Amino acid sequence: MSWLQQLYDTYEECSKVPEFVSGDNPLLPICHTTQNAHIEVILDGEGHFLRAKVLSKGELLTVVPCTEGSAGRSGSKPVNHPLCDKLQYVAGDYVVLGGDVTVGFSKNPQEPYQNYLSQLAAWVNSSASHPKAKAIYEYVSKGTLIADLVKAQCLFLDDKQQLLKKWDKDEDAPAIFKILPAGQTTEAAFIRWRVETPSELVTATWEDHNLMAAWIRFYNQRESTKGLCMVTGETVALATQHPSGIRHGADKAKLISSNDSSGYTFRGRFTDSEGSQACSVSSEVSQKSHNALRWLVQRKQAYRFGDQVFVSWAKSGEEIPDPFADSHALLGTEPEEAETTSIGDVGQAFAKRLSKKIAGYQANISDTSNIIVMGLDSATPGRMAITFYRELERSEFLARLEQWHTQFAWHQNFSKDVKFIGTPAPRDIAEAAYGRRLDDKLKKVVVERLLPCIIDQHPFPNDLMFSTIQRVSNRVGMDGWEWEKTLGIACSLFRGVYYPKENYRMSLEEDRTTRDYLYGRLLAVADYIEEVSLSDSEKNRQTNAARFMQRFASNPYKTWPMLYDQLTPYIARLKANRKGLWIKLENLLDDIKCKFTAEIFTDNAQLSGEYLLAYHCQRKELWKKIEKDTATDQSDD
């Protein structure tokens, strides 16, 4: 029950903050949920129809009163919402004009409307009534909603004077057919109400806090099962059903659910579905906890991919760093050149910026706030599982996040506009490891495997590192920008896995004399020689170093002489046109070869990912340093 307690406490703290209970993503009051409305009906204070309109995409999200049953409704006989709902519930002329009701209501097609009207009447006639609810009741009692919407050009009738459900004509479709979700007919149109009276400034029912409070008072007056709430420790009204719609409005999966009492569905463990024999939760706690979770999922700190959702938060609602973001998103959009003025200082500069950013979060998050990280997923449409759950102290969470971004930091080249020093996001690691083989299911699995590495500091999965190194070694199998991005990620993973044992720097280590590192430098120089020698007509083709890369990684000693032979015409071109540059490159090659011993040079074993670190750093050094001197080479020609 820890997750329920934490969500309940989050609701209690954040509901006191004005900015959290308003705006585009409000923290909902109890007994309310959100739905995407499609048609807005405007009434006067006496319940007379004034006008109606089809909503645009930016206006759809609507806060509506709900019950336990309607908040988690599903199945063949769903429960109506008490005020705003679909046509089959709120339109008395729905069946008469050809509307089809849900299968469970087929014996009495008017039952959805009758249930809605009966519940609304009970509210209107109670001590918790509200003028807007009375006006809506007076109108829907007339049973003319669809006819009025047809007159207002929101809905349409076919040649048989029945509700037009789909638009099959050649001309441009009316607004209602464009705003409905794909595959749904006008029968799915959701209605919301606006009541205009001279004395009321707030006409929208979804913005009227007095109306919301009136519904909560009425709903709390109902008879309900009393029992011990295991979150608050009080004897209160227990929840018999729990909300759905956690990840989005159409989400039917529930975290807490119980089947009916027929068919031995409790497997002999319990005698009822109330939950008191297992773990009882009050209606208020359930609604507040689910509302808090729904609110958090819609905020920036949630990582979403299909049905998979990971959300992290502080109970006080303060902003925390996203554990699923790359370093570019975490630190901001400053260009890489702002990191440092010296190429040898990039690692220290990045660590300094990261520490300052983490210190800022440390100062903004209160000492008493725990950080919670929670993963949700569903294998079936009706059941949701918590796939990951951790509670960490503020300092512990920030320290682990800082360690992740420090350990796996490297030069990243995602596109022409996105270049940064830091750690890639889990989704980018998944794409780098599997490429075209990556489907939605595999991406979800990879992200789930990486989360414990970030939050719990588990060892990084070696298979993901090896897969990424193998893919980047096969350079001919990728286009230019994909390969550049994958190269940076492969270097990140190799450096991170062997951190801090090797403590690879993010700049060229000229004093490192390991076999794999030196061979990586040779490959970078060979690649550079050919690349700068190519004429304009040859610029788009790959170099021999690129084409030989996979073979070189598998058999470096045997492949190097073959690769060097392929450089002969390009070396000749450099000697003729850029003699000064060639002298520098020739000296560099000699310097690298001199660092080999005979024993390690003739070792033909497969290279590890260390060669990519050397290749990347040497390549970067060549383009940044030697190329600056080429302007002076012309005097030597």
Per-residue pLDDT of 447-458, as tens digits, reads: 999 999 999 999
Question: For the residues of 2-15, what is the DSSP string, one character each?
Answer: HHHHHHHHHHHHHT
Region 102-112: mean pLDDT is 92
CA–CA dist 215, 55 (Å, integer): 25
Per-residue pLDDT of 17-51, as tens digits, reads: 888 888 778 899 999 988 899 999 999 999 999 99
Going by pLDDT thresholds of 50, 70 and 90, the confidence category of residue 310 is very high
Three-point CA angle 362, 363, 368, nearest 5°? 75
Per-residue pLDDT of 404-427, as tens digits, reads: 999 999 999 999 889 999 999 999
Interhelix angle 111-124/209-220, rounded to 10 degrees, is 100
Going by pLDDT thresholds of 50, 70 and 90, the confidence category of residue 258 is low
Q: Which residues of 52-65 are buried (b: 16+ CB within 10 A; e: fewer)?
A: bebbeeeebbbbbb
Checking if the pLDDT of 388 tops 90, the result is: yes
Per-residue pLDDT of 527-563, as tens digits, reads: 999 998 886 557 678 899 999 999 999 999 999 999 9
Encoded amino acid at 299, one letter? R
Per-residue pLDDT of 130-163, as tens digits, reads: 999 999 999 999 999 999 999 999 999 999 999 9
Tokens of 470: 């193998």
CA–CA dist 252, 384 (Å, integer): 9
Q: Among 83-97, 290-304, 428-442, whose mean pLDDT is lowest? A: 290-304
Region of 119 on the Ramachandran plot (φ > 0 left; ψ -120 to 50 alpha; else beta): alpha
Instruction: Count other Cβ atoms within 10 Å, centred on residue 304.
Output: 15
Checking if the pLDDT of 336 tops 50, the result is: no
Checking if the pLDDT of 338 tops 70, the result is: no
Residue 35, Cβ density class (10 Å: 0-12 exposed, 13-18 middle, ≥19 buried)? buried
Q: Among 31-40, 110-119, 378-387, whose mean pLDDT is lowest? A: 378-387
Please report the pLDDT score of residue 634 as a whole number.
47
Q: Looking at per-residue confidence, does 258 or 109 come out higher?
A: 109
Encoded amino acid at 477, one letter? G
CA–CA dist 209, 374 (Å, integer): 31
Tokens of 556: 């470096």
Checking if the pLDDT of 330 tops 50, the result is: yes
Per-residue pLDDT of 198-250, as tens digits, reads: 988 999 999 999 999 999 999 988 867 788 888 888 888 888 888 888 887 77
Question: For the residues of 72-122, what is the DSSP string, one character each?
Answer: T--SSSPPPPSSSEEHHHH-TTTTTTTPPPPGGGTTSTTHHHHHHHHHHHH
In the block, which residue shows the tokens 């030597």? 636
Please report the pLDDT score of residue 341 as a whole number.
41
Residue 472, Cβ density class (10 Å: 0-12 exposed, 13-18 middle, ≥19 buried)? buried
CA–CA dist 312, 390 (Å, integer): 9
Checking if the pLDDT of 280 tops 90, the result is: no
β-bridge mates for residue 43, sequence order: 49, 195
Please report the pLDDT score of residue 635 as a whole number.
47
Please report the pLDDT score of residue 227 as a whole number.
85
Please report the pLDDT score of residue 637 as a whole number.
47
Strands 226-228 and 61-65 come out as: unpaired
Strand, coil or helix: 294: helix
Per-residue pLDDT of 506-534, as tens digits, reads: 999 999 999 999 999 999 999 999 998 88
What mean pLDDT is reported for the chain?
Answer: 89
